[in-house]
């Protein structure tokens, strides 16, 4: 099997920077939204018991499906999941890839080395899996599922953006060494 053409490793790192910012916002929205509401009027970590005339915010388990689905943290996480899906299905046409190639890459010197595109693509799939689990658990009413999932994905994206350490790529390489991924039988 021939190795696919290499990609500029700065492209996935650029995408991870934008993704990390979006995931941080989604985590904060998840923390102050219905996902962490406790059955009393709640504003993230601060909660008080309602008095007469106060607005009552039910916990996620008591909230309707429509309320869960309209939560701002949930909606942003769905957008992030769609971006991850786009990165898995068509990495060259994903928004951050196109933005990098058209705006940033022409202004930079050529990369000193290229990398295999399969590990970053796999990492996009890992991110998609993590946020999708959070989305599904949020919709069925599991408290804290959404901010925990977005925080976990944020940590991985931040590691890539800040330190060029792609956690999903490392998982790919471990699975490849174990013979699970990336190898074909003769």
pLDDT in the model for residue 5: 78
Measure the CA–CA gap between 104 and 1, rounded to whole angstroms.
Answer: 32
Measure the CA–CA gap between 153 and 147, rounded to whole angstroms.
Answer: 10
86 falls within a domain: yes
pLDDT in the model for residue 56: 53
77 falls within a domain: yes
pLDDT in the model for residue 159: 98
pLDDT in the model for residue 137: 97
Q: What range defines the domain where residue 72 resides?
A: 10-37+55-106+116-177
Q: Which residue has the tokens 């102050």?
A: 32
pLDDT in the model for residue 46: 45
pLDDT in the model for residue 47: 45
Which residues, given as ranges, of the chain have pLDDT below 70? Answer: 1-4, 39-58, 183-186
50 falls within a domain: no
48 falls within a domain: no
pLDDT in the model for residue 101: 95
130 falls within a domain: yes
CB atoms within 10 A of CB 86: 17
131 falls within a domain: yes
pLDDT in the model for residue 103: 96
Burial 148-181, CB ≥16 within 10 A → b, else e: bbbbbbbebbbbbbeeeebbbbebbbeebeeeee
182 falls within a domain: no
166 falls within a domain: yes
Task: Decide if 133 contacts 77 (C-beta within 8 A).
Answer: no
Domain count, the chain: 1
Predicted confidence (pLDDT) per residue in 60-86, tens digit: 888 899 999 999 999 999 999 999 999
């Amino acid at each position: 099997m021939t190795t696919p053409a290499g990609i500029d490793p700065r492209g996935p790192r650029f995408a991870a920077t934008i993704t990390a910012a979006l995931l941080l916002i989604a985590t904060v929205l998840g923390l102050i939204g219905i996902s962490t509401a406790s059955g009393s009027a709640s504003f993230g970590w601060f909660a008080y018991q309602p008095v007469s005339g106060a607005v009552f915010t039910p916990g996620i388990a008591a909230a309707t499906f429509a309320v869960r689905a309209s939560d701002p943290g949930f909606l942003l996480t769905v957008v992030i999941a769609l971006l991850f899906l786009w990165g898995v299905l068509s990495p060259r046409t994903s928004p951050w890839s196109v933005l990098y190639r058209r705006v940033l890459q022409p202004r930079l010197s050529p990369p000193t080395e290229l990398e295999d595109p399969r590990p970053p693509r796999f990492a996009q799939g890992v991110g998609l899996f993590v946020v999708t689990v959070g989305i599904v658990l949020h919709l069925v009413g599991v408290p804290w599922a959404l901010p925990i999932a977005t925080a976990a994905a944020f940590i991985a994206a931040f590691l890539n953006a800040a330190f060029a350490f792609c956690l999903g790529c490392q998982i790919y390489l471990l699975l490849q060494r174990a013979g699970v991924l990336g190898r074909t039988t003769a």
